Amino acid sequence: GDYSGPLRPQVHFSPPVGFMNDPNGLFQASNGTYHLYYQYNPTALVAGNQHWGHATSDDLYTWTNQPIALFPPSGVEGAGVFSGSAVIDTNNTSGFFGNLTEGVDPIVAIYTLNTPEKQTQDIAYSLDGGYTFTEYENNPVLDINSTQFRDPKTIWHEETGKWVMAVTYSQEFAIGIYTSPNLIEWEFASNFSHAGLLGLQYECSNLVPVPVKDSDELIWVMYISINPGAPLGGSVGQYFPGTFNGTHFEAFDAAARIDGFGKDNYASQFFYGTPANESISIGWASNWQYTNLVPTAEEGWRSSMATPRRHYVTNATRIGYVLASEPYQIESVRNSSLLPDGAESASIVNTTVEIDLKNNTSGAVYFALNFTIPDGANVPETAAVTLTMRSSASNETLLAGHYLGGSNAGTTWVDRGKLTGFEHPLFSDKVSHTIVGNAESLSGIFDRSLFEVFVNGGEFSATSTVFPSEMLDTLEVTTTDLPEGADVSAAVWGLRSTWA
Ligand code: FRU
């Protein structure tokens, strides 16, 4: 693949050539290596002919493309390998790994085989730690004669000593929970259904334990993707914190909590095999409404993954449990400060600081803003922080900001509508989200055709694809109408190209 195109993300994963959608089979091997598989059409720039592409990484940013891992079965007309998961079968419960080489992880992939007749759950095993797979000879392992039954995500449930699969009955708005002693024989345990936003279909569910912030406690989270029919249109993820006893999941309350206020973070999957105190996911940074049309096709590829997220559950004011997501160890790809004179941070009080990005050859930046508002300050409605990324060639801009006062206090917004590289009626310009009280911080990653913002260290976030027609080569940070004693401190770093 050629990763030099002006829209090619430099710290995010995108396929070498062809079309990509959902992340699949995410696991961390016992030697620490992360494995990412993905819905992949290697032969066209639109969805279809689904394979499992494969890449590996030691830091979740620097990826090595690997050969395709799963192919549609030959001789089955119109067959595709749809989304699914992978596990490490440490105790050889499946019996596939009698002769495994010492030090090689026993990997089983559990996925949907899609054919025009139906969707079944099938498995394949790998004797070389996840690089090549052999299909199980008695597939499928789960078949309910449905064309809308897919995306098995499997975990090991320690307390009951069983495998647990969450799988979607997509058009019945239900998540089926199945258990198995060996990944081959599956028994129905319960349904979790008609919860939260329905959209028109449920897809890609995850049932996973997530650490509570600053605690050893874990809280179960049922994460469900819906498409189409998201509130902003198309695709979105929602989640439910709750309890799980090995067979039944119960949400703590009836609220539908949405993961992200952007339009481009879908089908997130949580890694198998990470330490118990590390919950990490990757989402697909696109939306089915326009993914087959975006202009990156000119560079021979379509779609990237969002920044890997580290998750924890927090207890937000009035809202209750929130699944927070911060970029996973972004420091590992950070270069030096881009602020004038290389300063580590700048205080920006009712002024603009302009940051030249021309020498930042990756075109990728990370920024972190911290807000200090004195207690009891009278903050005017117009008090705001605005980020403007501009192209000096075309003058087009990507805008984002946060309101600090009045009725919009606590509102973060992103506007991609003043970029000129892509037009589509459903490629919405503006998104925003309001939290209780003012934010304390706003950070974000810009990476050529991706823009992600994180409020309060990831309590809320938005992922947006962005399509400038020329490189954005300056960043302006402006604050206006801050009251006496208020301060906005900014840090801006270049990010190292992981594909160069
Ligand atoms: C979600 C999805 C899944 C399906 C896959 C097919 O984006 O529709 O439900 O398995 O994509 O590529």
3-state secondary structure of 255: coil
Give the pLDDT confidence score for residue 438 in this predicted structure.
87
Does 51 contact ligand 1 (Cβ within 6 A)? no
Does 50 contact ligand 1 (Cβ within 6 A)? yes
Strand blocks (E) in 229-341: 236-244, 249-251, 257-258, 266-270, 279-284, 301-302, 309-316, 320-327, 334-337
User: ipTM score here?
Assistant: 0.98
Does 204 contact ligand 1 (Cβ within 6 A)? yes
Give the pLDDT confidence score for residue 458 in this predicted structure.
96
Give the pLDDT confidence score for residue 402 in this predicted structure.
98
Distance from C-alpha of 96 to C-alpha of 113, rounded to nearest angstrom: 20
- Closest approach atom of ligand 1 to CA 82: 10
Give the pLDDT confidence score for residue 317 in this predicted structure.
85
- Closest approach atom of ligand 1 to CA 170: 9
The distance from CA 29 to its chain's CA centroid, rounded to whole angstroms, is 20
Strand blocks (E) in 317-440: 320-327, 334-337, 346-347, 352-356, 364-372, 384-390, 397-403, 411-415, 430-434
**pLDDT (tens place) for every residue of the chain, 500 residues total:** 899 999 999 999 999 999 999 999 999 999 999 999 999 999 999 999 999 999 999 999 999 999 999 999 988 899 999 999 999 999 999 999 998 899 999 999 999 999 999 999 999 999 999 999 999 999 999 999 999 999 999 999 999 999 999 999 999 999 999 999 999 999 999 999 999 999 999 999 999 999 999 999 999 999 999 999 999 999 999 999 999 999 999 999 999 999 999 999 999 999 999 999 999 999 999 999 999 999 999 999 999 999 999 999 998 889 999 999 999 999 999 999 999 999 999 999 999 999 999 999 999 999 999 999 999 999 999 999 999 999 999 999 999 999 999 999 999 999 999 999 999 999 999 999 999 988 999 999 999 999 999 999 999 999 999 999 999 999 999 999 999 999 999 999 999 999 98
Among all chains, which residue has been given the structure tokens 């054919």?
A: 115
- Closest approach atom of ligand 1 to CA 288: 7
Can 341 be counted among the known catalytic residues? no
Does 303 contact ligand 1 (Cβ within 6 A)? no
Q: Quick check: 282 and 306 in contact, CB under 8 A?
A: yes
Does 111 contact ligand 1 (Cβ within 6 A)? no
DSSP state of 263: S
Over residues 249-305, the pLDDT tens digits come to: 999 999 999 999 999 999 999 999 999 999 999 999 999 999 999 999 999 999 999
| Residue whose C-alpha is closest to residue 461's, from 304, 266, 329, 265 | 265
Task: Catalytic residue, from 2, 22, 105, 143: name it.
Answer: 22
